[in-house]
């Protein structure tokens, strides 16, 4: 095996002595292991040091020399940042001079007349090693762009502060730049670097006034561990102000998450919580500051519990699918026309958990596929069962999440459900929330077109809750529009709301789309919708989502109405 030392160039040593005999002796000792160069006085030594500052590993410096002596060299080196990093061993015959030289920054001394060769070699070797180690450490400690600690050293030091200075009440503060990757993409990395440097400088200036440490933890994420602050808003403004004037064309927005000091919390946990807070104000340009509080903690513990328990929930059938009917209100009496499958979680200890509590959580970490696949499978099975049991055709719609869109097996899975349960494509409708259309427009449109070509019907869920505009509708490959509840809520009291509903209905008619009005609770709402030409209604007025055995009563009622009519 080749040792790395053998393939490296030998380290460079400068020997400075006015006496030729001394230069020769030291040269003879060192030349086997090092590349040695020489200077005859202090002035010449400084010239060489400046020229070869990056390459020099060590200087052996005689103290008594003409022109410029060793002490003057030491003094000059101490005040020069570039030269200061080169270790110097002084060569001297005087005890007093040794001490003075060490005080002036020399790393070690070698006494004249020269010692045993091995001792000299060992001293030179050790000092080089020490100094290289130190330089390595300080290079690794800091982020070069901002001169703040990098993440490992940051936590090392934060832990020390926490352990050894319990009297200090430290806050954990996280600063993040909104859409930094976009700023980088559009304006170039140099501009991005300038933002980071500017923030780094402001943080260092802040830390020169306040006790604490800071790190550029990740690309555009800054961690600050500092003594308790009174006014976080003001602190955020301070950092925001420092980037406001960087460019006339680019607006840079910072957000801040804070976990204020609490006696019993270690830095890692403090910063986890500050991060939770910081994530909560992502994209919130009006209110970019969030301070961690106890309710977030309760929520986090609850979420963690749900994440841990999901597998058991699937295995032990704690997840249940409820069905909420959709009625055609243009018939008299209104006719049961389909249902929506809605998940419920009956947790053995936490009780009934509503989807609003866990769907967004699982959407955030990819586990939603587990939930949705479960619901689709169960809904398809149920449709098949009702078909056989009652001979009644009741299509059921299931919800698709944003993450499902990226499942490469999505189409295959859905097609298999249709085949395995002996259904028609129209028996399983797919609800896709409006915001998914705006998020992943291209990918989604392609997927939905493929599904519709197969024969699936697609409903746009929560229409009006997001940003899609009415004129986008004409380009959307959908069959049904589900009008968001907020439109229906006030149609009795608020004329504008009702006009809006009528407008949506008119446009939908023009585009040949059916409309489902969601959240209909009152008869008055129902009548207005009916007059305005809305055909389908889902809401508590007819029924809450029901477990299958209760939903069957609605089917049975419907069948008996049909029989009476015939
Ligand atoms: P969504 O798909 O818009 O479902 C309609 C929600 O409105 C249901 O809430 C339903 O119970 C509620 N609702 C129906 N009628 C009324 C009414 O008259 N008044 C009021 N106030 N509410 C009414 P739920 O079951 O809590 O579901 C909430 C959301 O969770 C759903 O909104 C859907 O986005 C999501 N979700 C439910 N089940 C699933 C699922 O299996 N997979 C996925 N990905 N999401 C699901
Ligand atoms: Mg839905
Ligand atoms: Mg909906």
Q: By alpha-carbon position, which residue is closest to atom 27 of ligand 1?
A: 355
Let me know if 241 is exposed, middle or buried by CB neighbors in 10 A (0-12, 13-18, 19+): exposed
Q: Which residue has the tokens 């600690």?
A: 149
CB 540 near ligand 1, within 6 Å: yes
CB 363 near ligand 1, within 6 Å: no
Which residues lie near ion ligand 2 (Cβ < 5 Å)? Answer: 399, 431, 461
CB 288 near ligand 1, within 6 Å: no
CB 176 near ligand 1, within 6 Å: no
CB 254 near ligand 1, within 6 Å: no
Per-residue pLDDT of the chain (566 residues), as tens digits, is: 333 333 356 789 999 999 999 999 999 999 999 999 999 999 999 999 999 888 899 999 999 888 889 999 999 998 887 788 899 999 988 878 888 888 888 888 888 888 788 889 998 988 888 887 777 666 677 888 998 998 878 998 898 889 888 889 999 999 999 989 889 888 999 999 999 999 999 999 999 899 999 999 988 999 999 999 999 999 999 999 999 989 888 889 999 999 999 877 899 999 999 999 999 898 899 999 999 998 888 888 899 999 999 999 999 999 999 999 999 999 999 999 999 999 999 999 999 999 999 998 898 788 999 999 999 999 999 999 999 999 988 999 999 998 898 899 999 999 999 999 999 999 999 999 887 776 667 788 899 999 999 999 999 998 887 666 666 777 788 999 999 998 899 999 999 889 989 988 998 998 899 999 999 999 999 999 999 999 999 999 999 999 999 999 999 999 999 888 87
CATH architecture of 12-141: 3-Layer(aba) Sandwich (3.40)
CB 451 near ligand 1, within 6 Å: no
Q: Which residue has the tokens 């380290």?
A: 11
CB 399 near ligand 1, within 6 Å: yes
Tell me the domain boundaries of the chain.
Answer: 12-141, 151-292, 301-556
Rounded distance between C-alpha atoms, residue 468 and residue 169, angstroms: 48
CB 359 near ligand 1, within 6 Å: yes
Q: How many CA atoms lie within 13 A of 541 on its CB side?
A: 23
User: Residue 234 in contact with residue 192, Cβ under 8 Å?
Assistant: no
CATH (residue range 151-292): 3.30.70.270
Strand bridging mode 428-433 / 396-400: parallel
Task: Report CA(492)–ligand 1 centroid distance (Å).
Answer: 23
pLDDT score for 5 = 34
- The secondary structure of 366-386 as a DSSP string is TTHHHHHHHHHHHHHHHHHHH
Q: By alpha-carbon position, which residue is closest to atom 12 of ligand 1?
A: 519
Nearest Cα neighbor of 336 from 323, 324, 322, 325 is 325
Dihedral of alpha carbons 459, 463, 469, 471, sign: positive
Q: By alpha-carbon position, which residue is closest to atom 33 of ligand 1?
A: 399
Mutate which of 322, 325, 342, 540 for ligand 1 pocket (most atoms within 8 A of beta carbon): 342
CATH architecture of 301-556: Alpha-Beta Barrel (3.20)
Atom number, ligand 1, closest to the C-alpha of residue 540: 18
CB 356 near ligand 1, within 6 Å: yes
pTM of the model: 0.66
Helix %, strand %, coil % of the chain (to 5): 50, 20, 30
């Amino acid at each position: 095996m080749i040792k790395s030392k053998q393939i490296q160039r030998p380290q460079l040593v400068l020997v400075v002595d006015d006496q030729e005999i001394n230069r020769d002796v030291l040269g003879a000792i060192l030349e086997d292991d090092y590349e040695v160069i020489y200077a005859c006085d202090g002035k010449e030594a400084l010239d060489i040091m400046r020229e070869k500052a990056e390459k020099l590993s060590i200087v052996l410096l005689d103290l008594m020399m003409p022109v410029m002596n060793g002490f003057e060299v030491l003094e000059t080196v101490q005040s020069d940042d570039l030269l200061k990093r080169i270790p110097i061993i002084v060569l001297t015959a005087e005890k007093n001079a040794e001490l003075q030289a060490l005080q002036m920054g020399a790393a070690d001394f070698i006494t004249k007349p020269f010692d045993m060769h091995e001792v000299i070699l060992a001293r030179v070797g050790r000092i080089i090693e020490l100094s290289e180690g130190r330089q390595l450490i300080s290079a690794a400690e800091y982020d070069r762009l901002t001169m703040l600690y990098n993440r490992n050293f940051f936590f090392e030091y934060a832990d020390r502060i926490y352990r050894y200075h319990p009297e200090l009440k430290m806050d954990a503060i996280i600063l993040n730049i909104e859409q930094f990757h976009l700023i980088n993409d559009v304006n170039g990395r140099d501009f991005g670097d300038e933002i980071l440097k500017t923030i780094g400088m402001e943080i260092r200036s802040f830390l020169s006034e306040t006790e604490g440490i800071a790190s550029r933890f990740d690309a555009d994420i800054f961690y600050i561990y500092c003594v308790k602050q009174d006014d976080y808003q003001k602190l955020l403004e301070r950092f925001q102000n420092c980037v406001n004037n960087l460019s006339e064309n680019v607006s840079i927005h910072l957000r801040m998450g804070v976990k204020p000091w609490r006696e019993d919390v270690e830095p890692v946990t403090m910063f986890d919580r500050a991060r939770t807070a910081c994530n909560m104000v992502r994209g919130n340009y009006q209110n970019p500051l969030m301070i961690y509080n106890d309710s977030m903690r309760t929520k986090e513990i609850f979420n963690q519990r749900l994440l841990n328990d999901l597998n058991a929930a699937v295995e032990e059938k704690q997840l249940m699918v409820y069905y909420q009917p959709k009625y055609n209100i243009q018939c008299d009496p209104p006719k049961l026309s389909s249902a929506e499958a809605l998940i419920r979680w009956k947790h053995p200890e936490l009780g009934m958990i509503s989807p609003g509590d866990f769907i967004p959580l699982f959407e955030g970490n990819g586990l939603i596929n587990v939930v949705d696949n479960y619901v689709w499978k169960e809904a398809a099975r149920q449709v098949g069962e009702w078909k056989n049991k009652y001979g009644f055709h009741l299509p059921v719609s299931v919800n698709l999440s944003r993450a499902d869109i990226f499942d490469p097996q999505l189409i295959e899975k859905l097609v298999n459900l249709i085949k395995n349960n002996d259904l028609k494509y129209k028996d399983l409708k797919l609800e896709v929330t409006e915001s998914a259309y705006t998020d992943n427009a291209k990918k989604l449109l392609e997927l939905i077109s493929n599904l519709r070509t197969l024969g699936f019907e697609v409903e746009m869920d929560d229409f009006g809750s997001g940003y899609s505009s009415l004129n986008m509708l004409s380009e959307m490959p959908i069959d049904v529009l589900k009008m968001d509840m907020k439109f229906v809520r006030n149609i009795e009291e608020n004329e504008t709301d009702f006009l809006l509903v009528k407008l949506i209905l008119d446009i939908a008619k023009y585009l040949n789309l059916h409309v489902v009005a969601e959240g209909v609770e009152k008869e008055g709402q129902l009548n207005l919708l009916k007059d305005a030409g809305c055909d389908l209604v889902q809401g508590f007025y007819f029924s809450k989502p029901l477990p299958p055995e209760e939903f069957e009563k609605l089917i049975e009622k419907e069948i008996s109405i049909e029989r009476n009519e015939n």
